[in-house]
C-alpha cells in the first residue's frame, strides 16, 4: 500500500463510504480505486487528486497533505545515480535489496532520519 492509498482508504472509511460507491461518484471503476488504494497503480493524476479532494470536501492542510502523499506514492521507484559518487549507487542498491526486510519501526526511523537530514539542507 502506498502513503496515498492508505490515506485514501482512511478518508473513505472515516466517512463510511464503500469503494463501489466512491468509484461511482467520482466516475472511475471500483477496480481502479482498489488498485489505487493497494498501490498497484501509479499515483493518481493531479486532476484525479483534485476530484478526490473535492469529493471529500477537504481543504487547506489536509488537501495539501493528500497532494504530497500522491507525489510520494509511486509503487515502483527508479533511482538514477548515473554521474553521482559511487556511494550514491551503493546506497540506492543497499536500500533496494533490503527494504523488504525492514520492520515498520526501522522504516519509520530511517525515513525520519533521512527527512531530518534533507530538511537541514534546504
Tell whether 58 and 24 lie within a shared domain: yes
Tell whether 25 and 65 lie within a shared domain: yes
96: helix, strand or coil: helix
Please indicate, yes or no, whether the overall pTM of this predicted structure exceeds 0.75: no
Q: Kindly report, residue by residue over 56-107, the tens digit of the pLDDT.
A: 999 899 999 999 999 888 878 889 999 999 999 999 999 999 999 999 999 9
Q: Which domain holds residue 91?
A: 86-119
Tell whether 10 and 44 lie within a shared domain: yes
Computed over every residue of the chain, the mean pLDDT equals 92
The answer to the question of residue 81 being in a domain is: no
Tell whether 35 and 63 lie within a shared domain: yes
The answer to the question of residue 79 being in a domain is: no
Task: Indicate which CATH number applies to the domain containing 42.
Answer: 1.10.260.40
* Domain total in the chain: 2
CB of 51 within 8 A of CB of 25?
no
Amino acid at each position: 500500500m502506498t502513503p496515498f492509498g492508505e490515506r485514501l482508504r482512511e478518508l473513505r472509511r472515516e466517512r463510511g463510504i464503500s469503494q463501489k460507491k466512491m468509484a461511482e461518484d467520482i466516475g472511475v471503476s471500483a477496480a481502479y480505486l482498489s488498485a489505487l488504494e493497494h498501490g498497484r497503480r501509479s499515483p493518481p493524476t493531479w486532476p484525479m487528486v483534485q476530484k478526490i479532494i473535492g469529493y471529500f470536501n477537504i481543504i487547506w492542510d489536509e488537501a495539501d497533505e493528500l497532494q504530497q502523499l500522491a507525489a510520494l506514492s509511486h509503487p515502483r521507484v527508479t533511482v538514477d545515480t548515473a554521474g553521482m559518487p559511487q556511494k550514491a549507487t551503493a546506497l540506492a542498491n543497499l536500500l533496494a535489496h533490503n527494504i523488504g526486510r525492514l520492520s515498520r519501526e526501522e522504516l519509520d526511523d530511517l525515513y525520519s532520519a533521512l527527512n531530518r537530514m534533507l530538511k537541514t539542507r534546504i
